């Protein structure tokens, strides 16, 4: 699928801080660094959109799942929203790695 124009996308399986919360700005910047100006692939799980009409997707740049990388960096918490849980085990593992390394929201 080729998307032109503005599409609002909600990354599946994670919950990043809001902009007025600690690490909100860092999460936004990390996402921009990962995807801005790059060709991305988006994968749908079960649901197409959320109640705000945002596309629900796993987002990839090359072979990197951006959802997982943001969680691994400690800039979002893994959070499953059934029925869209295809990769939740992977995202949970990325959160555990961030916790062990005390990255981002897990810093002490």
**Residue 69: CA count within 13 A, CB half-sphere:** 17
Choose, from 21, 25, 43, 54, the residue flagged as catalytic: 54
Collapsing DSSP to helix, strand or coil, 38 comes out as coil
Contact assessment for residue 39 and residue 60, using Cβ atoms and an 8 Å cutoff: no
Nearest Cα to Cα of residue 12 among 41, 47, 61: 47
Choose, from 8, 18, 21, 29, the residue flagged as catalytic: 18
Collapsing DSSP to helix, strand or coil, 43 comes out as strand
Q: Residue 36 is encoded by which pair of tokens?
A: 């801005």
Active-site residue flag, 77: no
Active-site residue flag, 57: no
Collapsing DSSP to helix, strand or coil, 31 comes out as helix
Active-site residue flag, 18: yes
As annotated, the active-site residues are 10, 18, 54
């Amino acid at each position: 699928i080729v998307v032109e124009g503005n599409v609002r996308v909600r990354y599946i399986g994670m919950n990043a801080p809001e902009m007025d919360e600690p690490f909100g700005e860092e999460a936004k910047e990390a996402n921009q660094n990962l995807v801005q100006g790059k060709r991305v692939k988006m994968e749908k799980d079960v649901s197409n959109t959320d109640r705000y009409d945002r596309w629900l997707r796993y987002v990839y740049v090359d072979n990197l799942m951006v959802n997982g990388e943001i969680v691994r960096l400690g800039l979002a918490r893994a959070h499953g929203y059934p029925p869209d849980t295809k990769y939740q085990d992977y995202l949970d593992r990325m959160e555990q790695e961030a916790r062990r390394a005390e990255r981002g929201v897990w810093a002490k």
